[in-house]
Structure 1
Amino acid sequence: MSESGFGDFEFERKFFVREFPAVAASDPMPALIVQAYLFASDGYAVRVRIQGPAPVDLDAEPSALVEALGEESIGTMTAKGPAVGGTRYEAERELDPLVAAQIVQRSENVVAKVRYSAWLGEDGWIVDRFLGANAPLLLSEVERGGPVVDLAIPSFCVSEVSEDDRFRNEYLAHKPFGTWAEEYRRELDRIGPTFVDSLGQNQFEGS
């Protein structure tokens, strides 16, 4: 049971970011995350993740990046359920990092990204910069111990993708952003930004 009293559930909202924000660049200790999806179907997924301090060279293949994480890495296995209204079942358990690294290195459907963290207003935000076939994707997330309502949304958040399955990591592991990036940009230009309006009152920076 989590301290929030909601058990194995996560509450987050996710946004597409067009340009890398300066506030993310100020993070002195970004983390490298390499994760493999052992199963993914209809919103359900099983993920093994290895993460640690980001190395200087990020141009290597995922297997080499895993090796570069070193002794400070952390391993986890997570079972996820479908997301509904910014809420998703997520049960995470710690793994021996050596075991997690070996599983990730042997997996076909892998996502690698660098995670930057910043505190903005009342919320902690992350910006994920995806590597490899998912470059140049940038996504930002905010997570709370309960439903993410009445959110102050920073200006670098171009459009909300909390309910867009294409931006879930398990989807990106099978269909990397690089293969449909131009299609999405044309879609965004045609439709314009959208934001979930069923989670209280959105507040936009600068408005």
Structure 2
Amino acid sequence: MALEIERKFLVNEQLLPQASQKINMMQAYLQTDPERTIRVRIADDRAYLTIKGKMVGIARKEFEYPIPVKDARELAKLAVHSPIEKVRHYIVVDGRTWEVDFFEGINGGLVLAEIELSSEDEEISLPEWIREEVTGQVQYHNSYLAQHPYTKWK
């Protein structure tokens, strides 16, 4: 088991530097409720089954296991909502890797940056391309976006 501690931000796309790596992702949620989420993710040629616990502050328990891509495709058919499609860009700033997700499909137009922390009180320097922090705002959780697509927000 791991403890996921992360902060999430909206970004100014025009100021983003070049990504060091990009990965195409599909995430399908098998369960979404405030106590836990269960998802299957295909990231290029790899797949994972992930169980996340309830968010407490900016941290939550996370269990992630590699699974065969073929199994992930079958599990995705059991999703309770439309899958999330995105391209994840990895951008290194001051020795830290930021994950910047460019959402596609029903969430097209949304761009979010995340950074993983080693503790909840860890201090970070925000790059110039950060606009607004949205950590803890449920509407920016991927599991919420599967149920309430960004393109349908008012």
| TM-score for both structures, normalised by structure 1 | 0.69
Q: Give the drift of 1:16.
A: 1.2
Hey, what does 1:34 align to over in structure 2? Answer: 26
Residue 122 (structure 1) shift: 3.6
Verify: 1:93 aligned to 2:65, yes or no: yes
Alignment of 1:187-206 (within 5 A): none
What per-residue deviation string (whole Å, max 9, x for no partner) do you get for residues 125-148 of structure 1? Answer: 111000001010000000133336
Task: Give 1:11 deviation, angstroms.
Answer: 1.1
Q: Name the residue aligned to 1:111.
A: 84
**CA shift in 2, pair 1:160/1:143, >3 Å:** same
Q: Does 1:13 align with 2:7?
A: yes
Structure 2 CA distance for aligned equivalents of residues 20 and 97 of structure 1: 34
Distance across 1 between alignment mates of 2:4 and 2:132: 21
Q: How many residues align?
A: 153
Unaligned runs of 5+ in 1: 1-6, 53-72, 184-207
Q: Using the alignment, how far apart are the partners of 1:86 and 1:19 within structure 2?
A: 25
Measured in 1, the distance between the counterparts of 2:98 and 2:67 equals 25
| Structure 1 residue 124, shift from structure 2 partner | 1.0
Contact 1:12 1:148 in 2 (8 A): no
Q: Does 1:76 align with 2:45?
A: no
Asked if 1 retains the 8 angstrom alpha-carbon contact of 2:20 and 2:91, the reply is no
Which 4+ runs in 1 deviate beyond 4 A?
A: none
Aligned equivalents of 1:166, 1:41: Cα separation in 2: 13
Give matches, 1:140-179, under 5 Å. 140-147=113-120, 149-179=122-152
Contact 1:127/1:138, CA 8 A, preserved across alignment: yes
Runs of 5+ in structure 2 lacking a partner? none
For residue 48 of structure 1, report the CA deviation from its aligned partner: 0.4
Secondary structure at the counterpart of residue 98 of structure 1: helix
TM-score by length of 2: 0.90
The structure in which a higher percent of residues are strand is: 2
Residue deviations 1:70-110 (CA, integer Å, cap 9, x gap):
xxx11100111122222111111111111112222553431
Aligned residues: CA RMSD: 1.7
Matched, 1:135 2:108: yes
| Higher percent of residues as helix | 1
Inter-partner Cα distance in structure 1 for 2:31 and 2:146? 11
Distance, in Å, in 2 between the alignment partners of 1:20 and 1:39 is 35
Deviations 1:140-192 (A, max 9, x none): 00013333621111121111111100000000001011111xx4xxxxxxxxx
Per-residue CA deviations over 1:9-68 (Å, capped at 9, x if unaligned) read 111100012425431xx225310010100100115210000111xxxxxxxxxxxxxxxx
Distance in 1, Cα, partners of 2:131 & 2:90? 18
Q: Percent identity?
A: 30
